[in-house]
Amino acid sequence: MKTPRTCVTPQGQFVVGIHKPGFDVDNFRQNSTDDVLGRLPDGRPVKNLQNYPQGQVQASADDRIYEIANAFPFRGSTFINSDWADRKAERPDTICLPARSDCSLSACLKQWQKGKGVQRNTVTQMLELLPRPLKLALAQASTDPEELCALAGLACDFVYDNGKDHPPTGLSFGKNNQGWLFPVIHDHDLYDVLGNNPALPDVYKEVMVLKPGIQGESPIVGESLDNTHVFEYMRANSYIPWGHYATNMANDQIRYRANDMTPSDMAGIRHLYYQRIYVRLAQMLGVTLPATGRPLSTDELEAL
C-alpha cells in the first residue's frame, strides 16, 4: 500500500520540503513609461523604473521556499516563503486576529456637537440618514450597544410587551397573500450583520436571531442538557435523503467566540452528532432503539 503523503512520518518526525527556485523570464514588453510615484522629504522624485526592466529578467533563488504537506493528505500542501516565515516566527502575534478596537460613530458625533446646542436625538436621525453602505459598515464595526440598538430599530420592527422604555420582547409579524407569517424586516442585510455583532445586547440577539423559530420552522429533534444547552435542528427540505441536521447552542447559552465555548458545550454538540449517526445506522440495520422522546445516554449510545 502506498504511504500517504503527510508532514508527519510514522516515526513521529516532522518532514518539510525545501526549494530554492531560480529562473529566467523572457521579456516581451516593447515600451517603458517613466513616471513619478511621489517624492522624498527632500523633494527628490520616486520613480517606477524598477517596473520596466530591460532584457531578460532573472529571478534569483535568494529565499528558500518551505513545502509542508498537510497532516491530512487530502488537504494537499502549503508553500511558505522562508523570509516571511522567519519574520513571523520572531513575532507570532503579527499573524493573530487583532483585538477588536472600540468603535462608535455616536460618540464621535456627540463629541463634535458639544457646545453647539444640537438636540440629543440628532445622533439617531443621523444614523437613519446614513447611506446604506455606511450603515452596514457601522453595524459590523461598532462596539457601541446603544448605537447598535438604534440600527436594529431601522432594520426591523420590534414589539415591546413591557413598554418602549424596556427592551423588545419580539418582532412584529405580518401575513402574506398565502397566509404565511413573516417577521417585518426592512433591511435583511443590515439585520443579519447586526445579529452577528457580539456587541449587540443579548436581549436583541435573543429576539432577532437566537430564539427558536425566529429563523424558520426547522423542527428541533434533539437536545443536550448536561451542563450545557444544545439544540439539534432538522432541515426538512434537505438534498440529503435521510435529512440535514445542525447542532446549535440554545438561545439561553449565547456563544459568539470560540473562547466562550466550554468542554460541556463541545461534548453536548458531539453527543448529538453521534446520536443522530448511530440512530440512523441502527434504523438501517433493523436494530431496536433504546428510547425516543429523550436524549440517549452515553452508555446507551455505546451499547447501540
pLDDT tens-place string over residues 249-269: 999 999 999 999 999 999 999
Record the cell numbers describing residue 47, joined without a space: 520613480
Burial 59-87 (b: 16+ CB within 10 A, else e): eeeeeebbebbeeeeeeeeeeeebeeeee
CB-based burial label for 192 (10 Å; 0-12, 13-18, 19+): middle
3-state secondary structure of 99: coil
Residue after which a domain boundary falls, among 192, 210, 228: 210
- Is a pLDDT exceeding 80 seen at residue 4? no
What are the φ and ψ backbone dihedral angles of 137, each rounded to 5 degrees?
Answer: -65, -40
Q: Residue 64 in contact with residue 56, Cβ under 8 Å?
A: no
In a domain, 240, yes or no: yes
| Alpha-carbon gap, residue 292 to 221, rounded angstroms | 10
Identify the band that residue 43 occupies on the pLDDT scale cut at 50, 70 and 90.
very high
Instruction: Report the predicted TM-score, pTM, of the whole model to 2 decimal places.
Output: 0.75
Q: β-pairing, 173-175 with 181-183?
A: antiparallel
Give SS3 for 65: strand
- Same-domain pairing of 228 and 296: yes
Q: How confident is the model at residue 118 (pLDDT cuts 50, 70, 90)?
A: low
Q: Indicate the residue among 210, 233, 263 that finishes a domain.
A: 210
Q: What is residue 1's predicted lDDT score, i.e. its pLDDT?
A: 63
User: Counting beta carbons within 10 angstroms of the beta carbon of residue 190, is it exposed (0 to 12), middle (13 to 18) or buried (19 or more)?
Assistant: buried
Residue 112 is assigned to a structural domain of this protein: no
CA distance 222 to 229: 11
The yes-or-no verdict on residue 116 having pLDDT over 70 is: no
Stretch 28-44: mean pLDDT = 92
State how many domains the chain has. Answer: 3
Establish if 97 belongs to a structural domain: no
Domain extent, residue 174, equals 119-210
